[in-house]
Chains A and B, each alone.
Chain A
Amino acid sequence: EAQVTQNPRYLITVTGKKLTVTCSQNMNHEYMSWYRQDPGLGLRQIYYSMNVEVTDKGDVPEGYKVSRKEKRNFPLILESPSPNQTSLYFCASSLTGQAAPYEQYFGPGTRLTVT
């Protein structure tokens, strides 16, 4: 089954404790992206990756890191989480190319609470 998986689905942590949210897709998509969703602010892009070893900042990259060592995986790293990073996080993937962006497939979401 074609899917994007994220782990963990729920996480409560404390300020400053490094954490990683994993994202994996099995569709051989080149493009992967991380979003955060907050009430009243909608979905905002954190980082994206066009392909292996190619990553770039989205609209709200501060406080986050990513890596793309393999095509299928795109982990999101919070080196020193703070309460303002409490949010619902989505990973997404899609094909890419010269034409318009293909539809993005979203993972199930990770609800992160930083106390």
Chain B
Amino acid sequence: EDKVVQSPLSLVVHEGDTVTLNCSYEVTNFRSLLWYKQEKKAPTFLFMLTSSGIEKKSGRLSSILDKKELFSILNITATQTGDSAVYLCAVGITYSGGGADGLTFGKGTHLIIQP
């Protein structure tokens, strides 16, 4: 059974701290790994990673994938209260039979940034 595990499940830090969120996976037919941010509404896309060792950056956020060890991390530096959200990791897979792609989500990390 495909599995995506995120840790920690929740995290409380102070503004200005740096945080690292973890995502490990065990899936068949891996295609990609995606990170989403969810505030009190629909998830919004952050990154898609397909190759090991290549860091993706967007402002204070960055992410990297290790396809050998089957995990990814999401780093947020100089955190702000607006970073408070649930961060979702999802792995893109090809369903058996080919031709179809889906996303298997982790349960998310609930990040709270205190002023």
Contact = CB atoms under 8 A, between A and B. Distances in A.
A101 B108 contact: no
B67 interface: no
A102 B103 CA distance: 10
Nearest to B1: A59
Given A105-B45, A107-B42, A109-B42, A100 B32 contact: yes
B84 to A, nearest CB: 18
B102 A58 contact: yes
B100 A42 contact: no
B48 A103 contact: yes
Interface in B94-115: 95, 99-108
A90 interface: yes
A31 interface: yes
Q: How large is the interface on A (under 10, 10 to 19, 20 to 34, 35 or more residues)?
A: 20 to 34
Nearest to B49: A100
Contacts of A101: 31-32, 34, 92, 101-103
A100 B47 CA distance: 13
B41 interface: yes
B30 to A, nearest CB: 9
A74 interface: no
Given A100-B31, A107-B42, A108-B42, A45 B108 contact: no
B88 interface: yes
B48 A42 contact: no
Contacts of A103: 34, 45, 48
B50 interface: yes
Contacts of B32: 100-101
A105 B31 CA distance: 18
Contact of B48 (A35, A40, A100): A100
Interface of B: 31-32, 34, 41-45, 48, 50, 88, 90, 92, 95, 99-108
Q: Which 9 pairs, one residue from A and one from B, show the smallest C-beta to C-beta distance? A: A100-B32, A101-B92, A106-B42, A42-B107, A100-B31, A43-B105, A101-B101, A103-B45, A42-B105
